[in-house]
Amino acid sequence: MHPSPEDYLTVVRSPSEIAKLRVRAIANARQLKALAFVALRDGMPKAELRASNARAAARSVLGFARRITDEAESRSETIRMATRVPDARILDHLEEA
């Protein structure tokens, strides 16, 4: 059983952590695509199946990283909005009412 993506998002990630996660996912996907390339040329049985599986794994890695980073970015944006200091014009308007 795999942990859900939400388990990885319990801590709001900083932009540098999100960038590192994306870079690592891209590197892993490139390695898997290279493995697919080798699988087609190594002469071993079921080359097309192994290459297909490697390409599918690369897509899965990129999709998972995209979901995690998109969710982390939206959470950090929500926190930034929640902790933002209100504009002075809004405060003045509230005091007049």
Q: For residue 3, tell me if it sits in a domain.
A: no
Q: What is the pTM of this model?
A: 0.65
Dihedral over Cα of 14, 17, 19, 21: its sign: negative
pLDDT string in tens for the chain (97-residue length):
455 655 555 555 677 888 888 899 999 999 999 999 999 999 899 999 999 999 999 999 999 999 888 887 777 777 777 777 666 666 666 666 5
**89 near 30, Cβ under 8 Å?**
no
Q: How many domains does the chain have?
A: 1
81 assigned to some structural domain: yes
Interatomic CA distance for residues 32 and 63, integer angstroms: 14
Q: Give the structural domain span for 21.
A: 13-96
Distance CA 84, CA 78 (A): 10
Domain for residue 44, yes or no? yes
